Amino acid sequence: MASRHLSRSIAMQSLYEWDFNNKQEELSNIVERNIAEFGAGLDEPAFIWDLAIGVKDRIETLDKVIEKTAPEWPIPQINPLDRNILRLGIFELLYANKENVPPKVAINEAIELAKNFGGESSRKFVNGVLGTVYRGIEEQNKNSESVPTETEKEE
């Protein structure tokens, strides 16, 4: 398993455990324990921390994106595993350095997590939500590129 894929798996498992237990244990304790158990010899444990803490720090924003793109699925009704895979995927789509993690890589990695850890419909659900988020980002980027700058307005 590639180092970054394993790192995403550990981050997702940590977020899942934290969320499943109603956020009663510190996420940092869970991440440390999971790195020790599953990530011995990882080249980039910092990537795990960036993902897990990044999701935790932006969880409200990420959940709002999920609510907007999957309105028929209130956050508490989404399977906790799928919910945290979505949070991780959306975090990478919105906040990751696009040169290090291109959007299609973030989506594919989330789909792989859903395939490996989720239920029958997890892959399709994750793919659908993240695809919608990605199209929204692309549309927003197109619209912002077509807005004239102050210099162009003056011409």
| Tens-place pLDDT, residues 61-119 | 999 999 999 999 999 999 999 999 999 999 999 999 988 999 999 999 999 999 999 98
Q: Is residue 25 part of a domain?
A: yes
Task: Count other C-beta atoms under 10 Å from residue 127's C-beta.
Answer: 17
**pTM for this prediction:** 0.89
Range of the domain at 87: 3-146
Q: Is 101 helix (H, G, I), strand (E, B) or coil?
A: coil
Residue 151 within any structural domain of the chain: no
Which pLDDT does position 44 carry in this prediction? 77
CB–CB of 56/88 below 8 Å?
no
The CATH number of the domain holding residue 52 is 1.10.940.10
Distances (CA, A) of 137 to 65, 128, 142: 11, 14, 9
How many structural domains compose the chain? 1
Cβ within 8 Å of residue 36, ≥6 positions away: none
